Amino acid sequence: MNFRKNKSLFLFLLPGLILYSIFFIVPTINAVIYSFTDWDGLSPDFNVVGFDNYINIVTNDSIFLKAFVNNIKFMLFVLIFQTVFSLIFAMFLIKNTKTNIFLRALYFFPTILSSVSVAFIWTFIYDPSIGVLNTVLDSINLGFLKQSWLGNQDLAIFSVAVTQVWFHTGQMLIIFVAGLQAIPKDLYEVADMEGARKWDRFRFVTWPMIAPSATIVMAYTTIQSFKAFDLIFAMTRGGPNYSTEILATLIYSTAFRSFEFGYASAQSVIFMIVIALITVAQFRLLRASRVQE
């Protein structure tokens, strides 16, 4: 498009660009600037501290490391189970029958709930004394599996991850269904003629063809996992003993409980870089499995 010839068309981009700049670009640039200061978020003055905040995070902040490790555990669990479940459900629900459409809507339903509501529902499910989960386990003679789902430090992060998977699987299912429905049927016919088994059909036809959808699902799931602040905050507040602390909850705590905005900004910048690196790595890995267009 020629800019000189279509100046008026670019005017239509302006409102969006202005809003995007105000609410995303400027705060991001501000965060980077503050990350080099010791600003407490309240005082009009602050000192420029250079790379001190970054050096402190890397060399002298055991909670940041703990939160990062928790985040990786959380992300891997959610990434694997959310992707697998949503793909399996999508393959079962690919045809547009009335039942399938109803089931897709049903699975999608948790996505429209607010995360705080989801947190309350699952906190109740996990309650050690009156919770549904332990009660059901008791009633089917599996009482030995009863756990303090959110109180056990080794288990809590995975319990919250299960909630996250339940929360968003339906959303990813819809993306996979769209991807699966776009695969030309003649590819399967050719595979059948070649004597391909079910696994071969999936491996050599389905997976390469839905790789673009998988890329979106996995990238989105990864970013969601790193940003699962509201769910974790409402369910455990990062406890017990930091066992469910992730980077997002830690940054909130640093900024709004300790009032170290400069330090929290540095944590946020590292957080952004981590998400960007993981997402780029995922795109590259999944690009390899895509069919040549």
Partner 1 sequence: MKKWVCISTMALGTMLAGCVGGSGGGNESEEGGGGEGTISFIHWRGEDKAVFDELIAKFEEENPNIQVDMTIYPSEQYQSTAQTLLRDGSTGDVFTSFPGSQMEIINQAGLFEDLSGEEFLENYNDELITAGQIDDKQMAVPLQLVFNQPVYNAGLFEELGLEPADDWEGFLALCQELKDAGYTPIAFPGSDIGPGQFMNSMMMNNAPEEDIFERLMAGEAKLTDEWWVQTLSQFQELEERGFLNADSLGTNHTSAIAQLANEEAAMLASGSYAMAGVKEINPDIELGLLAPITTEAAEAEWEGINTTTFMLAVNANSEKKEAAKTFVEFLSDVDNASTYANETGQHVTVEDVEYESEELKSTSEWMDRNTRFQPRFLITNADIERAVIASIQSVVGGETPEAAAEEAQQIVDENLD
Amino acid at 234: A
Cβ proximity to partner 1: between 43 and 181 the closer is: 43
CB of 87 to partner 1, least distance (A): 32
Cβ proximity to partner 1: between 14 and 42 the closer is: 42
Q: Contacts with partner 1: how many residues (CB under 8 A)?
A: 41
Cα gap 259→41, rounded to integer Å:
6
**Identified binder of partner 1 from the candidate list 6, 153, 181, 289, rule CB under 8 A:** 153
43-102 binders of partner 1 (CB under 8 A): 43-46, 56, 60-63
**Identified binder of partner 1 from the candidate list 258, 277, 281, 287, rule CB under 8 A:** 258
Cβ proximity to partner 1: between 65 and 285 the closer is: 65
CA nearest 78: which of 211, 285, 222, 212? 222
Please, are residues 169 and 78 in contact by the beta-carbon 8 Å criterion?
no
Cβ proximity to partner 1: between 156 and 218 the closer is: 156
Cα gap 223→210, rounded to integer Å:
20
Tell me how long the chain is: 293
Number of H helices, E strands in the chain: 15, 0
Taking CB under 8 A as the binding criterion, the range among 35-43, 72-80, 82-90, 211-219 that sits at the site for partner 1 is 35-43
Q: Exposed (0-12), middle (13-18) or buried (19+): which is 214, by Cβ within 10 Å? A: buried
CB of 46 to partner 1, least distance (A): 7
190-219 binders of partner 1 (CB under 8 A): none
| Residues facing residue 48 across a β-bridge | 37
Cβ proximity to partner 1: between 85 and 252 the closer is: 252
Please, are residues 167 and 110 in contact by the beta-carbon 8 Å criterion?
yes
Q: Is 289 in the site for partner 1 (CB under 8 A)?
A: no
- Number of Cβ atoms within 10 Å of the Cβ of 288: 7
Cβ proximity to partner 1: between 152 and 279 the closer is: 152
Query: 48 in helix, strand or coil?
Result: strand
Cα gap 122→166, rounded to integer Å:
10
227-256 binders of partner 1 (CB under 8 A): 236-237, 239-242, 252-254, 256
Amino acid at 20: Y
CB of 80 to partner 1, least distance (A): 25
122-151 binders of partner 1 (CB under 8 A): 123, 126-130, 147-151
Helix, strand, coil content of the chain in percent (nearest 5): 75, 0, 25
Taking CB under 8 A as the binding criterion, the range among 38-46, 84-92, 187-195, 201-209 that sits at the site for partner 1 is 38-46
Cβ proximity to partner 1: between 220 and 229 the closer is: 229
Cβ proximity to partner 1: between 45 and 186 the closer is: 45
Q: Which residue is associated with the tokens 């547009």?
A: 96
Q: What is the dihedral of CA 74, 225, 170, 111, to 10 degrees?
A: 120
Q: Is 271 in the site for partner 1 (CB under 8 A)?
A: no
- Residue numbers at the binding site for partner 1 (CB under 8 A): 30, 33, 39-46, 56, 60-63, 123, 126-130, 147-153, 236-237, 239-242, 252-254, 256-259
